[in-house]
């Protein structure tokens, strides 16, 4: 690769080409583009590249040498001086002003109550929620779908909304598994559900608007609202999910099918009250259906979207728990009135829908029935692990935790039965023994009782049993230390 300098712009500023070359090299050294110790091209090579005489290039090198920018070594070449200070390289750094949105984003911080990884003894049994293990995915069927997608007509244009065949497959899937009647034109694909949530927040929330969020709830949604200038209105959650109120707000985020993180299911009466509230307030409800693909007990719970008769509910779905990490796709089923604004906004971020090969492969994967079979296999496996984990936790640690009942999802929510001081002690002791888990502190917007989210789906029964046994030992040490 040839050495490159922006010579055209310098030649417009300087009458002689040797002067243009001198200033181009000097500025590159000042900027740090040519770092200390960099060997410059020979006079012959630089003269040929920029149509100069060797004498002119040699004159430029002599000028740089006299000014202290370079050092020359006989028989070795010319090098950028190693005596220049960092300040001389970079100059004074500009203070760049941020917009109000930029300032809010820069000041955001995620709450993390977990024990640092370096405080945990190795090896670790990690109950933090993780993605699907690779061995649980039907690789051969997916490779076949990818190969078919590669052979497809790549000249076919894809909408900013995403591949049409995949949107048709999703429409069929949510109709069959969720009871949602959606036209493919109402479905928009995103690079993960959080991208869709963030964009919708920007479209629907003005500076100072109140936005209702579940407390506890997913922290990413709170961060998106705060970045957009919205005012958080925490809504309490009990064993029956969010408690409806007469909120003075225009947007509500809710996880009715399986409340995040407690796992509570919102009953029919409360669902109707939410829709009545939205109608009376002319509000929008954003329903995040994050992991209810996996249900192994009880009857299927219909999404809030199914009861929506006024097109006020936006349904958010995701493939993050069922597909490999490389296939990062989420989607929204939108009211028809929001399709145009969402596509216009998405065009600013992604004029061309990303990961088209994966989108087209997923469309075939779903159309062939592979996706539904894959989810059913995972549901059986995860259901067995859920039951084993809950039974063992309740058998060995009934004094420590009260498990929130649930029959779906990939984590178990359990409240701590002791004081906050004893919980912190237990956390440290468990970490020292080699067990990590997710402190539910990150999900609360207001003061809370100590609780834990245990991810179990990625661990086999042997690891689950060992992890619980270690926590039992930590609990016994914890109790002894508080006597």
Over the stretch 196-207, which tens digit does the pLDDT of each residue have? 999 999 999 999
pLDDT at 210: 97
Evaluate if residue 354 carries a pLDDT over 60: yes
Q: Which two tokens stand for residue 12?
A: 């417009």
Q: Give, in order, the Cα–Cα distances in Å from 282 to each of 132, 250, 275, 363.
A: 39, 7, 10, 36
pLDDT of residue 482: 54
- Binning pLDDT at 50, 70 and 90, where does residue 380 land? very high
CA distance 383 to 295: 8
The answer to whether 353 and 189 are in contact (CB under 8 A) is yes
- Res 295 pLDDT > 70: yes
3-state secondary structure of 97: coil
Give the tokens for residue 423: 């919980």
Distances (CA, A) of 432 to 83, 119, 416, 473: 48, 7, 19, 11
Residue 302 has pLDDT above 70, yes or no: yes
pLDDT, residue 118, reads 56
Helix (H, G, I), strand (E, B) or coil at 256: coil
Over the range 275-302, which residues count as b (16 or more CB within 10 Å of their CB) and which as e? bebbeebebbbbbbbbbbbbbbeeeebe
Angle 255-360-135 from CA coordinates, rounded to 5°? 70
Question: E strands, 380-425, where?
Answer: 401-403, 411-416
Distance of CA 157 to the CA centre of its chain: 28
CA gap 273, 482 in Å, rounded: 46
* Contact criterion met (CB below 8 Å) for 368 and 145: yes
Give the residue-averaged pLDDT of 172-181. 92
Nearest to 69 by CA among 46, 43, 33, 36: 36
Q: Residue 217: name the closest of 111, 332, 101, 297 by CA.
A: 111
> Which domains are delineated in the chain?
7-90 (1.10.10.10), 117-133+373-481 (3.90.1150.10), 154-368 (3.40.640.10)
Residue 115: pLDDT over 70: no
Structure-token pair, residue 88: 């001389």
Lowest mean pLDDT among 14-18, 239-243, 423-427: 14-18
pLDDT at 298: 67
Q: Where are the alpha helices (DSSP H) in 419-460?
A: 420-433
Tokens linked to 211:
């936005």
Half-sphere exposure of 439 (CA within 13 A, CB side): 21
Choose the most confident range, by mean pLDDT, from 138-152, 270-284, 393-407, 436-450. Answer: 270-284
Question: Among positive and negative, which fits the CA dihedral 60, 64, 66, 71?
Answer: negative
- In a 3-state reduction of DSSP, which class is residue 365? helix
Residue 242's beta-bridge partner residues? 237
**Mean pLDDT, the chain, whole residue set:** 89
* Bridge partner residues of 454 (DSSP): 412
Best CA proximity match to 223, nearest among 197, 249, 248, 241 = 197
Is the model's pLDDT at 311 over the cut of 60? yes
C-alpha span between 301 and 317 (Å, rounded): 15
Are the beta carbons of 286 and 252 closer than 8 angstroms? Answer: yes
State the pLDDT confidence band at 114, using cuts at 50, 70 and 90.
low
Percentage above 90 pLDDT, the chain: 64
The pairing of strands 241-242 and 251-254 is: unpaired
What's the burial of 150, exposed, middle or buried (CB within 10 Å: 0-12/13-18/19+)?
A: exposed
Is pLDDT above 90 for 393? yes
Q: How far apart are CA 344 and CA 208, in angstroms?
A: 24
117 band by pLDDT with thresholds 50, 70 and 90: low
Taking residues 141-165, what's their average pLDDT? 85
Q: Is the pLDDT confidence value at 154 over 70?
A: no
Helices (H) and strands (E) in the chain, counts: 17, 16
What mean pLDDT do residues 122-142 have?
88
- Tokens standing for residue 173: 């899937």
DSSP 353: -
CA neighbor of 216 nearest in space, from 272, 273, 263, 278:
263
Please work out, in degrees rounded to the nearest 5, the angle formed at the alpha carbon of residue 253 by the alpha carbons of 176 and 440.
Answer: 100
The C-alpha angle with vertex 127 and arms to 123 and 133, in degrees rounded to 5, equals 85
Which of 325, 302, 327 lies closest to 315 in space, CA to CA? 302
DSSP letter string over 227-240? HTT-EEEEEEEETT
d(CA 180, CA 173): 9
What percentage of the chain exceeds 70 in pLDDT?
92
pLDDT for the residue numbered 155: 55
By the 8 A CB rule, do 98 and 106 touch? yes
Task: Encode burial over 226-265: b for 16+ CB neighbours within 10 A, e otherwise.
Answer: bbbbbebbebebeeebbebeebebbbbbbbbbbbbbbbbb
Could you say which DSSP state residue 188 is in? Answer: E
Per-residue pLDDT at 144: 96
Element (H, E) at 307: helix 304-307
Local structure of 407: helix, strand or coil: coil
More confident residue, 37 or 363: 363
Model confidence pLDDT, tens digit, residues 401-452: 999 988 888 999 999 999 989 999 999 999 999 999 999 999 998 878 899 9
Amino acid 1: pLDDT = 47
CA distance 420 to 448: 10
The answer to whether 306 and 268 have CB atoms below 8 angstroms apart is no
Quick check: 373 pLDDT over 90? yes
Does 340 or 109 have the greater pLDDT score? 340
Cβ contact 436:124 at 8 Å: yes
């Amino acid at each position: 690769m040839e050495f490159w300098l922006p010579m055209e712009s310098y030649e417009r500023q300087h009458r002689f080409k040797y002067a243009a070359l001198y200033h181009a090299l000097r500025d590159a050294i000042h900027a740090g583009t040519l770092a200390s110790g960099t060997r410059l091209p020979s006079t012959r090579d630089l003269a040929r590249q920029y149509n100069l005489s060797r004498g002119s290039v040699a004159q430029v090198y002599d000028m740089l040498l006299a000014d202290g920018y370079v050092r020359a070594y006989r028989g070795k070449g010319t090098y950028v001086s190693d005596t220049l200070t960092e300040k001389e390289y970079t100059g004074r750094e500009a203070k760049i002003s941020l917009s109000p949105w930029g300032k809010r984003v820069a000041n955001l911080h995620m709450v993390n109550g977990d024990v640092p990884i370096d405080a945990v003894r190795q090896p670790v049994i990690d109950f933090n929620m993780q993605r699907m293990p690779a061995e649980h995915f039907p690789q051969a069927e997916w490779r076949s779908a990818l190969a078919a997608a590669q052979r497809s007509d790549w000249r076919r244009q894809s909408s900013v909304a995403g591949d049409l065949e995949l949107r048709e497959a999703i429409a069929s899937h949510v109709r069959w598994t969720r009871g949602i009647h959606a036209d493919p034109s109402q479905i928009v694909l995103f690079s993960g559900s959080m991208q869709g949530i963030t964009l919708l927040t920007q479209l629907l929330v003005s500076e100072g608007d109140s936005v209702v969020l579940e407390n506890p709830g997913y922290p990413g949604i709170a961060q998106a609202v705060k970045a957009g200038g919205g005012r958080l209105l925490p809504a309490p959650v009990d064993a029956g999910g969010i408690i409806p109120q007469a909120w003075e707000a225009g947007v509500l985020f809710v996880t009715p099918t399986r409340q995040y993180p407690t796992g509570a299911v919102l009953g029919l009466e409360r669902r109707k009250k939410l829709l009545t509230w939205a109608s009376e307030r002319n509000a929008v409800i954003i329903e995040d259906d994050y992991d209810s693909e996996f249900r192994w007990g009880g009857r299927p719970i219909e999404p809030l979207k199914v009861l929506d008769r006024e097109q006020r509910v936006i349904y958010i779905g995701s493939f993050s728990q069922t597909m490999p990490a490389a296939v990062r796709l989420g989607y929204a089923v939108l009211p028809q009135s929001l399709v145009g604004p969402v596509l216009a906004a998405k065009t600013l971020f992604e004029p061309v829908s990303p990961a088209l090969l994966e989108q087209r492969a997923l469309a075939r994967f779903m159309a062939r029935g592979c996706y539904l079979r894959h989810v059913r296999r995972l549901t059986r496996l995860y259901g067995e692990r859920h039951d084993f984990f809950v039974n063992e936790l309740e058998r060995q640690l009934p004094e420590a935790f009260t498990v929130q009942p649930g029959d779906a999802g990939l984590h178990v929510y359990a409240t701590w039965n002791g004081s906050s001081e004893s919980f912190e002690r237990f956390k440290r002791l468990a970490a020292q023994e080699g067990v990590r888990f997710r402190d539910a502190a990150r999900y609360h917007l207001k003061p809370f009782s100590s609780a834990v989210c245990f991810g179990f789906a990625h661990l086999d029964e042997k690891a689950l049993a060992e992890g619980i046994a270690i926590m039992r030992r930590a609990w016994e040490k914890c109790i002894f230390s508080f006597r």
